[in-house]
């Protein structure tokens, strides 16, 4: 599909959840507005304990390869047992979301996880930032051609 939104999962080797699939798409507004970006994912608990809740982070880039603002974090209050999967979805109301249509690109990562024992795992923000910078350099290469 040449005219379809793109989806990329960032690498997080130490994350307790693995994003096994991620898709996104632009959704037109029902009546008025800029529309929204729909995020769908499948996650698997690869840790050794049950997960009580989690958040996935998303960065989106418009049809002109521009960052569409700070990351969106979608939270799921779903229990995910060890080796089990979950299929969350969120609707992001980004400013000028219509610019995502056909050529947008979304990046997904595991942002935060709460385990059954009450402990919290958080993403390594420096590793996420590094991958985001590398991704933006690739986008800059695409626009200068």
Are 62 and 136 spatial neighbours (Cβ–Cβ below 8 Å)?
A: no
Give the pLDDT confidence of 86-134 residue by residue, as tens digits.
999 999 999 999 999 999 999 999 999 999 999 999 999 999 999 999 9
Does pLDDT of 1 surpass 50? Answer: no
Residues 2-41 pLDDT 10s: 567 999 999 999 999 999 999 999 999 988 788 999 999 9
CATH class of the domain whose range is 6-143: mainly beta
- pLDDT tens digits, 54-64: 999 999 999 99
pLDDT on residue 34: 87
Element (H, E) at 129: helix 125-143
Instruction: Give kind and range of the element (H or E) at residue 64.
Output: none
For 40, the token pair is 């769908």
**Number of other residues whose CB lies within 10 A of the CB of residue 35:** 19
pLDDT value of position 143: 58
DSSP structure string for 71-96: PEEEEE---B-TT-EE--EEEE--TT
Burial 102-113 (b: 16+ CB within 10 A, else e): ebbbbbbbbbeb
- What's the pTM? 0.92
């Amino acid at each position: 599909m040449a005219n379809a939104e793109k989806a990329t999962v960032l690498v997080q080797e130490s994350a307790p959840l693995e994003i096994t699939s991620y898709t996104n798409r632009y959704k037109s507004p029902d009546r008025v507005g800029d529309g929204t970006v729909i995020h769908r994912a499948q996650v698997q608990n690869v840790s050794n304990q049950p997960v009580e809740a989690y958040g996935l982070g998303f960065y989106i880039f418009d049809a002109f390869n521009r960052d569409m603002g700070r990351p969106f974090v979608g939270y799921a209050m779903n229990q995910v047992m060890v080796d089990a999967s979950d299929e969350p979805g969120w609707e992001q109301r980004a400013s000028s979301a219509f610019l995502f249509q056909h050529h947008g690109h979304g990046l997904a990562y595991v942002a935060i996880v709460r385990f059954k024992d009450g402990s919290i795992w958080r993403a390594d923000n420096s590793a996420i930032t590094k991958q985001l910078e590398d991704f933006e350099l690739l986008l800059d290469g695409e626009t200068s051609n």
